[in-house]
Chains A and B, each alone.
Chain A
Amino acid sequence: MDEKTLNILKGFPLKKISILTLYFMLTSCIEQGNIIPSDINTNIPFDPKNPTPIPTGSATAAPTSIPGPGGGSGAGTAPGCTATANVLCKGGYDSDNTRKSLKVKVVYGNQAGSRLTNDPLSHAKNFITSVNSNYVHQGHRYMNLELDESKVIEVDQESDSVMIEKYTEAGYVTMILVASIPGSTVGYVQHMCAKLQNKEAWTIFEFPYVANGVVEHEINHLFCFPHTSRANGGNPTTFLGGYNPTSKILSNVGALKIPFTPDFKLFIDPANSSNTSVTYDNMLYFTGNLMYYSVLPSRPKLFTTHGEGYPYSYSHLIDYYYWNFLKPHAK
């Protein structure tokens, strides 16, 4: 050790060195001790409170979509899937020569001493059939949810995070039904543009309310669908308002995981109205559809809203999810 260093050390009394060492050890050890418990998932892909969200996808990465010989790839090879305004993309499931369904697992979280339903298999078949009817438009099926009957299970209800950890499965959409979720929400998802291989495609709901459109609404968030308005009806701070490329809309909330090729536009109402009618690219966008943030009296299915705008955008969005997320990773 050189003389300079020795002199520096000499200037520090023993007590100060011990305190400094202790402080260093304490801070590093305490950080080790404050390990976030594994049952708390901190992966929030979209954070409305974060003014500068970090995109989760790479803008320059090559698309990972696998072109199908028969149709859409999310990369514009299917007839109509070129993101040309006012041209419906007949992509997704029916455009694929080797069609792939998205398998669904349903978990019934029974309350103490009772069952949510005496016939979970029938119950699951019925509501999955209803949800699945959202993905047909003009005789073309964009996505096919297929109930895996061997994975309709009953368990004892536990906390949301415990059930999610235990029962979600890679390559599946996992739907967990429980008697009650304390607090405001009746059901929720965590991941927008859910990566199936990472067990992100799950939803959790209160059992009595699976037939009112809430399940369909929430599942579509997994498939990259945003609300038709900027937020949950509160201060408009979340999505970009107006008519913008969908990649930009999703990137804004940190939900863009795989690039769009080609990109297409989607309208988000800045005023949070359920009956906004605006026209862009000769297409009427009417916000009162399934992706509005509230239950609506007309109870629309995904494509059954008047106007061409949302059916156009949604047809591209499902095609994008099918080829980039579902086809490579669904079971």
Chain B
Amino acid sequence: MRNNLYPTVVLILISLNALGSDCTFNLIKNEVTKFHGPEWSKISATCSKSIIKSYLKEIITNPENALIEYDLEQQKFIFRNSIKSYGHFGTKNSDLNLLSTIYDDHNRQLHRMFGKDKNLFRITVLEAMANTGNLEALTLYQKIFENDQNELFLQQYALDFSAWIFEGSPLVQQENTLEGSKIYSEIFFPNLETNAETRYQNHPHLLDKIMEKKLIIKNILLDLANRPERFKAIYSSIRSLQKIVDIDEQNQSPNTLNPNNEHFQQIEKKSNPLENTTVRTSQFPKRDLANEKERQEKSLVSWVSILLAICCSTIFILRYKKRKD
């Protein structure tokens, strides 16, 4: 009886809070049911962040009741959109704790909804944690990439999303958000539009915390780098995060992830179940090393051309002047 009444009571309380406004639960559901994701900026004048967050919380804590009019496959999709969005509006430690609870799945909610795909869905929860922009997400990520009981790809995403917390969301500037029907998806990252130092520039204690987190993660990454048997397939993510936390790339220590390092090369030659697997190029770091090298080469050619042009034109002018004289 209590379980049946509770979601109704919550919805009534939220609705009372929104009394007099047009911000209804249906309005929120209209957004999270969109194929290309919600467009929160379009209802920001109607709905406050706290109300949106309340409704989203209702969906993610009790999807079977909140989305009762949809079948399971649709509930999964709407749940996904709601979780991702919760991070935009839930910025506090308590919100991170809620996401962490969902990730841990002690109540088997994820298991019921996603079955064997629940680990894939955990990627979405990790992204929601990043969306908060909260530095404490780094603590949660750290627990994941330190613990090999997690799937390797979840460790990878924890590394990548740590980069989001430090650097802001790469999606804010990514060109391919403008491809085709992806245009319709909103670029809405209220907590991740800038890097952490900018976000917290007026909070010295948080700036200290950023440095502290970077130091902790730097040391953890050194340990991960020393275990290529497990982490070879996700080197690009480790390396990207190392650069952000300012690991010295010239360090020739065996523990540094340096492809020229002899110790590293010896380990690579050992047979490895992932040996024939193409190393995943993470889509999260902004730098694409292959294209960057090509761009640098083209830039060098451009500068050589400029210098040659200057020389030729100067010679021409001087010869013309001499002929005239």
Contact = CB atoms under 8 A, between A and B. Distances in A.
Nearest to B121: A208
A14 interface: yes
B135 to A, nearest CB: 20
Interface in B257-295: 274, 277-284, 288, 291, 294-295
B302 interface: yes
A186 B206 CA distance: 34
Interface string B284-313: 100010010011001101110110011001
Nearest to A188: B182
A217 B176 contact: no
B313 A214 contact: no
B244 interface: no
Given A37-B291, A212-B77, A295-B70, A185 B306 contact: no
Interface stretch (A77-85, A108-116, A303-311, A313-321): A108-116
Contacts of B35: 185-187, 214, 217-218, 232, 293-295
Contacts of A157: 280
A112 B274 CA distance: 9
A62 interface: no
Contacts of B282: 159
A40 B291 CA distance: 11
Contacts of A211: 73
B2 interface: no
Given A179-B123, A293-B34, A294-B30, A208 B81 contact: no
A233 B30 contact: yes
A17 interface: yes
Interface stretch (A18-26, A67-75, A86-94, A168-176): A18-26
Contact of B178 (A44, A208, A294): A44
B196 interface: no
Interface string B182-225: 11111110000000000000000000000000000000000000
Chain A's interface size range is 35 or more
Contact of A294 (B33, B123, B313): B33
A29 B306 contact: yes
A328 B120 CA distance: 39
Contacts, number: 214
A33 B321 contact: no
B152 interface: yes
A160 B284 CA distance: 11
A149 B95 CA distance: 45
A189 B127 CA distance: 23
A159 B37 contact: no
A208 B76 contact: yes
Contacts of B78: 295
Given A33-B302, A188-B36, 14 more contacts: A22-B306, A25-B309, A32-B298, A39-B288, A44-B178, A111-B156, A180-B123, A180-B124, A182-B127, A184-B185, A208-B120, A234-B39, A295-B70, A299-B74
24 contacts: A18-B310, A18-B317, A22-B310, A29-B305, A32-B298, A32-B302, A39-B291, A40-B175, A46-B180, A111-B280, A113-B152, A114-B151, A160-B179, A160-B283, A161-B176, A180-B127, A184-B37, A184-B185, A184-B188, A188-B180, A209-B76, A232-B35, A233-B30, A293-B35
Interface of B: 30-31, 33-39, 42, 69-71, 73-74, 76-78, 80-81, 84, 114, 117, 119-121, 123-124, 127, 151-153, 156-157, 170-171, 175-188, 233-234, 274, 277-284, 288, 291, 294-295, 298-299, 301-303, 305-306, 309-310, 313-314, 317, 320-321, 324
Q: Which 3 A-B pairs have the closest CB atoms?
A: A184-B37, A190-B180, A113-B152
Interface of A: 6, 9, 14, 17-18, 21-22, 25-26, 29-30, 32-33, 35, 37, 39-41, 44-49, 111-114, 116, 155-162, 179-180, 182-192, 206-209, 211-214, 217-218, 221, 231-235, 293-297, 299
